[in-house]
């Protein structure tokens, strides 16, 4: 295939994916599943006839895409909300991953009659919830969840990939060698977590200093600078035996909660770029799979999917959150939003690249599981949230404003600003703060409570101000001044 045909095919696939995303939004379908289906239809067994079986290239694309998706998700993470659910989210991201991997491993050993190592390898691959799926589907549902459930889910999905990646790599190596030594593995896990968090924090501070102090001639270069620093965080951590995914997420969270020049343009760039990488990632994974092979494993895949959704995930959530004050309904909903997506499929390429005998079967099972998870769980999230009474009915003025801003003819612009502990605005009344004539604060989120501000409302550390304006320029300058 020559260059022109490659460009034409790539552009057509991207266009179809974007149109599929528009259609899915109107029909209430998860966007990501249509990206996968477009890739499958374009593959060698579909209408496109594109043959793609390079698992190593797919894994490379997956790692790049997951870095961008995690960094973008981190930039949207507010420390004020995360701090309140830090213990819950990290428990699910660590203990929850272990419990899920163990439960699935036991199931695969006895019901599929697999060896223990192969069974636990499968469990490790599907043990993490997917950041791309969770960020995308929760962001598109446009519902407010009670009890800080959404920050828990986003923190879990953003921080549990490192644990699943470590377990997958460890068990894949053990399958090749035929045994596993637990003591060195535990030390390696601790080293990966400590180095990953440390490099992420240091790279976050370095990134903040560089972005704020390097005066670039073109504003469009600031997102490029942030992009290069995100990849540097990943690579530095990996070179020092740390976990690169964890380093990327931590550095992004640090930047999101720092006073940063051009923060709005950087976030907007990564929001669009993350969508592009999701499309490319799901397209490439869709091309990699052969639908005829999926049909051959559907009974096993369906059994695995139902066990994971209805038994393994709830067990991990109820055990992991047993020490919290969350009620039964909240835990049940968190159990249901254990979405599997691109990350498990990317992790499933690790055994393929290493040449493990059962790798093709594992990949097809994981792919089938992902389709079922995104379709069944993704579509039913709003329904279950309302059924369990977990939707916060105090719909903010910002929600209506954002809906208005999405209309093509609307001139309304919205944004939000997080007030850090170092902000000079703390204890100031809104009436004493200079705002452009057409800009206002329509809502304050304080300790997970929605406050309708008045002129006498004082700003507190940890507040998130929801802004509304008619001019994007005024909003951007005000956001930089306040944030």
pLDDT in tens, 431-483: 888 777 677 788 888 876 778 888 888 999 888 888 877 766 666 666 666 65
Measured from the Cβ of residue 277, the count of other Cβ atoms closer than 10 Å reads: 22
- pLDDT band of 113, cuts 50, 70, 90: very high
Output the six-digit token pair for 150.
């959404």
Note whether 145 and 390 are within 8 A (CB).
yes
Output the six-digit token pair for 343.
């990350």
Residue 335 has pLDDT above 80, yes or no: yes
Crossing angle for the helix pair 86-111 and 161-177, to the nearest 10 degrees? 30
Residue 140's pLDDT is what?
Answer: 59
Separation CA 411–CA 475 (nearest Å): 12
How much is the average pLDDT of 183-187? Answer: 83
Residue 9 has pLDDT above 90, yes or no: no
State the DSSP string of 275-288. HHHHHHHHHHHHHH
Separation CA 49–CA 327 (nearest Å): 51
Residue 408 has pLDDT above 60, yes or no: no
Residue 415 has pLDDT above 90, yes or no: no
Positive or negative torsion for Cα 30, 143, 93, 318? negative
How much is the average pLDDT of 53-82? Answer: 86
Residue 230's pLDDT is what?
Answer: 96
In terms of Cβ atoms closer than 10 Å to its own Cβ (0-12, 13-18, 19+), residue 299 is exposed
Q: Give Cβ neighbours of residue 450 (< 8 Å, ≥ 6 apart).
A: 392, 394, 396, 443, 444
Q: Name which of 137, 135, 127 is nearest 31 in CA terms.
A: 137
Residue 395's pLDDT is what?
Answer: 46
Q: Name which of 99, 155, 1 is nearest 320 in CA terms.
A: 99
Rg over CA atoms, the chain: 23
CA torsion 91-92-94-98 (nearest 10°) is 130
- pLDDT band of 400, cuts 50, 70, 90: very low
Output the six-digit token pair for 154.
């986003």
Q: What is the CATH number of domain 397-482?
A: 3.30.70.1450
Residue 141's pLDDT is what?
Answer: 57
Output the six-digit token pair for 188.
């390696």
CA torsion 355-358-362-363 (nearest 10°) is 40
Residue 54 has pLDDT above 80, yes or no: yes
In the chain, CATH 3.30.70.1450 covers 397-482
Residue 28 has pLDDT above 60, yes or no: no
Phi and psi dihedrals of 455, rounded to 5? -65, -25
Where is pLDDT greater, at 348 or 158?
Answer: 348
Residue 139's pLDDT is what?
Answer: 61
Note whether 57 and 303 are within 8 A (CB).
no
What is the SS3 assignment for 392? coil
Q: Name which of 42, 443, 1 is nearest 279 in CA terms.
A: 42
Positive or negative torsion for Cα 165, 310, 40, 36? negative
pLDDT tens per residue across span 210-244: 998 888 888 889 999 999 999 999 999 999 999 99
Ranking 49-58, 103-112, 179-188 by mean pLDDT, the lowest is 179-188
Q: Name which of 437, 432, 429 is nearest 463 in CA terms.
A: 429
CA angle 84, 87, 93 (to 5 degrees): 125
Q: Return mean pLDDT, the chain.
A: 84
Instruction: Look at strands 464-469 and 413-418 and give their pairing.
Output: antiparallel
Measured from the Cβ of residue 178, the count of other Cβ atoms closer than 10 Å reads: 8
Domain 3-387 has what CATH class? mainly alpha
In the chain, CATH 1.20.1530.20 covers 3-387
Q: Name which of 157, 156, 170 is nearest 105 in CA terms.
A: 170
Residue reference for tokens 């994981």? 366
């Amino acid at each position: 295939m020559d260059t022109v045909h490659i460009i034409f095919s790539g552009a057509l696939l991207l266009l179809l994916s974007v149109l599929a995303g528009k259609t899915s939004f109107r029909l209430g379908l998860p966007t990501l599943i249509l990206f996968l289906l477009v890739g499958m239809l374009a593959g060698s067994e579909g209408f496109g006839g594109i043959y793609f079986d390079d698992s190593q290239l797919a894994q490379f694309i997956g790692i790049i895409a997951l870095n961008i998706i995690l960094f973008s998700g981190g930039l949207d993470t507010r420390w004020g909300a995360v701090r309140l659910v830090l213990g819950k989210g990290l428990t699910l991201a660590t203990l929850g991953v272990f419990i899920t991997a163990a439960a699935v491993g036991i199931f695969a050993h006895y019901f599929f009659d697999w060896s223990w190592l192969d069974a636990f390898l499968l469990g490790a691959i599907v043990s993490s919830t997917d950041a791309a799926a969770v960020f995308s589907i929760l962001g598109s549902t446009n519902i407010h969840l009670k009890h800080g459930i959404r920050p828990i889910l986003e923190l879990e999905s953003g921080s549990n990939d490192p644990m699943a990646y470590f377990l997958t790599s460890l068990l894949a190596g053990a399958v090749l060698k035929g045994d596993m030594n637990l003591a060195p593995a535990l030390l390696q896990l601790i080293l990966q977590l400590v180095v990953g968090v440390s490099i992420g924090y240091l790279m976050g501070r370095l990134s903040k200093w560089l972005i704020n102090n390097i005066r670039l001639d073109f504003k469009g270069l600031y997102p490029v600078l942030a992009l290069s620093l995100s990849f540097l965080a990943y690579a530095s951590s990996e070179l020092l035996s740390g976990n690169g995914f964890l380093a990327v997420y931590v550095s992004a969270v640090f930047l999101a909660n720092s006073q940063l020049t051009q923060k709005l343009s950087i976030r907007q760039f990564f929001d669009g770029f993350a969508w592009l990488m999701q499309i490319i990632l799901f397209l490439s994974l869709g091309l990699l799979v052969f639908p005829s092979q999926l049909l051959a494993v559907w009974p096993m895949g369906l059994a695995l999917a139902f066990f994971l959704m209805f038994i393994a995930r709830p067990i991990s959530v109820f055990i992991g959150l047993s020490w919290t004050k969350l009620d039964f309904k909240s835990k049940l909903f968190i159990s249901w939003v254990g979405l599997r997506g691109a990350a498990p499929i990317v992790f499933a390429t690790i055994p393929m690249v290493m040449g493990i005998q059962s790798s093709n079967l594992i990949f097809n099972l994981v792919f089938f599981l992902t389709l079922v998870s995104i379709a069944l769980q993704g579509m039913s999230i709003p329904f279950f949230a309302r059924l369990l009474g977990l939707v916060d009915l105090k719909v903010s003025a910002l929600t209506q404003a954002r809906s208005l801003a999405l209309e093509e003819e609307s001139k309304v612009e919205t944004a939000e600003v997080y007030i850090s502990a170092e902000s000079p605005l703390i204890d100031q009344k809104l009436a004493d703060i200079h705002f452009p004539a057409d800009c206002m604060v329509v809502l304050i989120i304080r300790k997970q409570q929605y406050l309708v501000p008045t002129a006498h409302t004082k700003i507190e550390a940890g507040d998130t101000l929801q802004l509304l304006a008619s001019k994007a320029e005024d909003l951007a300058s005000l956001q930089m001044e306040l944030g």
